[in-house]
Amino acid sequence: MTTKVFVDGQEGTTGLKIFEYLSQRRDIEVLRIDEAKRKDVAERGRLINASDVTFLCLPDVASRESVSLVEPGNDKTCVIDASTAFRTDDNWAYGLPELSRAQRERLRTAKRIAVPGCHASAFVLSMQPLVAGGLGPANFAAHAYSITGYSGGGKKMIAEYEAGGDARLMSPRPYALGLTHKHLPEMSVRSGLARAPIFTPIVGPFLKGLAVTTYFSPDQLARPAKPQDVRAMLAEYYANEPFIRVMPFDAESNLDNGFFDVQACNDTNRVDIFVFGNDERFVTVARLDNLGKGASGAAIQCMNLAIGADEGAGLQS
């Protein structure tokens, strides 16, 4: 028996990557919309309601419109949204199975799933276990930055970088310096923090790969702890998680001649979490593929849970 899947917003970066995953699956029947009817509300509604799973790869306003097209009484279609529209809505399951012990089970039965943002996934996965374990106080003043590949900016930014000829694009470019990045609400809510972190993202001259670094001073913690203790807490929290690796503390093997490789999780659905530093100050670093676990891979992982398939089906750990 095959699962019928519709992708609303099939031309965007996330939608195209989801199609790439689905094309490898024999258990999936993809419902495609005619190019001429991509903006036809009636046709989109028909396909949404004919599907077992609909992925929404749209801006927030369009995602909300698509959700409104689900017919009353349709308790079959599972909607998996990749926008920011529903990520802090308690009526939607947050699409991060590793978030807590209960999260995976909620995703197995949810009909409304909000896929996390790429920066948010990395931040939450490194911060939430510390808050849940009582080591990071809820009022912790988190400071973090992210460096990410240019694919996170969508098709227009990809075209700009791949056209070449602009020397300005060859250096890292901080952005969202008004400190109001769209991922901030979920970064605080889903990590258990009372306030959003001070967060600055940076886009680099490479296609994909992302790493979020969060800063800690031991005197900010709720109880005395060394960075090795933080690493041990993270390792215990994620024990047996197929897509998360907590790496050895401060090990030379974590680096490439002293440098950190932001792209080492590319083409996987994996998250690598590191702790670097000393007794006076330390950082956590969470690395992932912003097109994989940071977007389309996470959406497929959620779909697998929702349809009762193997969670890792079609995904590389």
Q: What is the pLDDT of residues 241-270, one digit of tens each?
A: 999 999 999 888 999 999 999 999 999 999
Go through the domains of the chain in sequence order and give each one's CATH number: 3-116+294-307 (3.40.50.720), 118-293 (3.30.360.10)
Would you tell me how many other CB atoms lie within 10 Å of the CB of residue 67?
18
Reading the block at residue 263, the tokens are 């792209």
pLDDT for 141 equals 95
Classified as helix, coil or strand, 216 is strand
pLDDT for 39 equals 85
Strand 112-114 vs strand 78-81: parallel, antiparallel, or unpaired? parallel
Cα 48 from Cα 6, distance rounded (Å): 6
Q: Which residues pair with 283 in a beta bridge?
A: 215, 276
Q: Which helix (H) or strand (E) holds 121?
A: helix 118-132
Segment 263-291, tens digit of pLDDT: 999 999 999 999 999 999 999 999 999 99
pLDDT for 35 equals 86
- Work out the percent of the chain whose per-residue pLDDT is above 90: 95
Q: Which residues are catalytic?
A: 118
Count Cβ atoms within 10 A of the Cβ of residue 244 and give its class: 0-12 exposed, 13-18 middle, 19 or more buried. Answer: buried
pLDDT for 197 equals 97
Alpha carbon 104 to chain centroid, angstroms: 15
Classified as helix, coil or strand, 203 is strand
DSSP type of residue 171: S
CA 50 → CA 65, 127, 274, 316, distances in Å?
A: 17, 39, 44, 29
pLDDT for 180 equals 95
Write out residues in the chain with pLDDT < 50, as ranges.
none
Please report, in angstroms and rounded to a whole number, the separation of the first and last CA atoms in the chain: 26
Classified as helix, coil or strand, 136 is coil
Cα 294 from Cα 308, distance rounded (Å): 22
